[in-house]
Amino acid sequence: MKTGGKGPGNKGAGGKGPGSSGRGGKPPSAGAPRGKRLSHDARRRAAARPAAGEERVQRSPRPRPVEEAPKPTRAQVKAETSEVLSTGVQQLVVTPDENEMRIDRFLEARFPQLSFSHIQRIVRKGELRVNGKRADSKDRLEEGQTVRIPPLKLEPQEQRPRSLKADTDTVEFLRSITLYEDDDVIVLNKPAGLAVQGGSGTTRHVDQMLEVLTDKSGQKPRLVHRLDKDTAGCLVIAKSRFAAATLAKTFRSRSARKVYWALVAGVPRVRQGRISTYLAREEAYDGDQRMAVAKHGEDGAMHAVTYYAVVETAAQKLGWLSLKPVTGRTHQLRAHAAHIGHPIIGDPKYFNIQNWELPGGIQNKLHLLARRIVLPHPRGKGTIDVSAPLPPHMRQSWNLLGFDDAPYDPIVEAPDE
């Protein structure tokens, strides 16, 4: 019989039963004389030899089928990340790929389920720290720095089914406002009143709309800069990770040339000039936020530079300004225009002239247009140079005032510093 086999009188290796030795749990070794006990080594060698006329067969273990673990769904990944975030404080180390990345974009990349308003809130409250210090959402990180993330309680997000009609309508809308497109870049003519990113109570915004343009490899077009909700005009979108990284460096290095048009109250005495201040965020009594001129060294103060030129005037009551921001601070142009005493018409945050009456026929909407963007192509294919038309409310004002909006700009050659 085969060694180790099961049958009557044998319960298997180590079992006891009729014919078992009772010691060590093995039957007497083949070839061992009765009544004579063998040493432990001898018994082991005897057990290893096949019985007479029997060929010992070495059986290899049967390979088990390898089952690939199912890939987690997007909802599962979000749920797992939410669970990690809610467990307590995290300390994240900035990687080489994240060097010089803005804090808000660092958080968006690490935790895509965090909303823009959520990110701004934890930064504003000082709950996020970089190397132990408070930071602004626009501060840039350095490789090796430690970012402290507070515990976050995230509500589970419902996975709503996509509507084919809604997606088709969104694609058609985006196509209708596209000023330029190639394999890497889209430049949109963002309408006034459309938010670029989500916030408190904002459900319709450009970033959400870009989901419908996700390609077969899962790459969604990315924002590389922002415009205020009520500012119309040129908004640059990257269609790939490579384009996004390259364009982000272009904006950081100030290699992108931006020209804005604005209608302001009054006319600056100096027809062409340079505005240089420090700006810091302040919180209004109603909880709203605005930027205020600050002194160098104040908490959160950042240098801001804008060039301006008067294009045309209307009886010294209104002025058409061409503005060129060198830096890209939040509300920079709006705050700078108010700072020199000529706030932008229709600006609910910064218009600061008491008892000023809006001329008849002009709508009380922000008269600020991102008129032109000029930047090197991310793949070195020359220069992208795109201009946006006046939005409807500004077109109405230009017609009423008799302004000629022929495509020109008097300060395109202004110095960058």
* 228 is known as an active-site residue: yes
DSSP secondary-structure letter at 240? S
With b for 16 or more beta-carbon neighbours within 10 A and e for fewer, the 143-179 pattern comes to eeeebbbeebebeeeeeeeeeeeeeeebeeebeebeb
Query: Which H/E stretch holds residue 44?
Result: helix 40-48
Spot the catalytic one: 104, 184, 207, 228. 228
**SS3 (DSSP) at 130:** strand
Report how far Cα 221 is from the mean position of its chain's Cα atoms: 11
User: What are the C-alpha distances in Å from 25 to residues 3, 17, 28, 50, 276?
Assistant: 13, 9, 10, 19, 94
DSSP 297-323: TSTT-EEEEEEEEEEEEETTTEEEEEE
**SS3 (DSSP) at 165:** helix
Neighbour-count burial of 304, counting CB atoms closer than 10 A to its CB (0-12 exposed, 13-18 middle, 19+ buried) = buried
**Residue found under tokens 């010294």:** 316
CB 403 within 8 A of CB 312: yes
DSSP secondary-structure letter at 269? S
Sign of CA dihedral 20, 26, 32, 33: negative
CA-to-CA distance for 342 and 168, rounded, in angstroms? 43
Half-sphere exposure (Cβ direction) of 410: Cα atoms closer than 13 Å: 15
DSSP 164-193: HHHHHHHHHHHHHTEEEE-SSEEEEEEPTT
Structure tokens of 365?
A: 């909407």
CB 173 within 8 A of CB 194: no
Structure tokens of 357?
A: 């009456």
List active site positions: 228
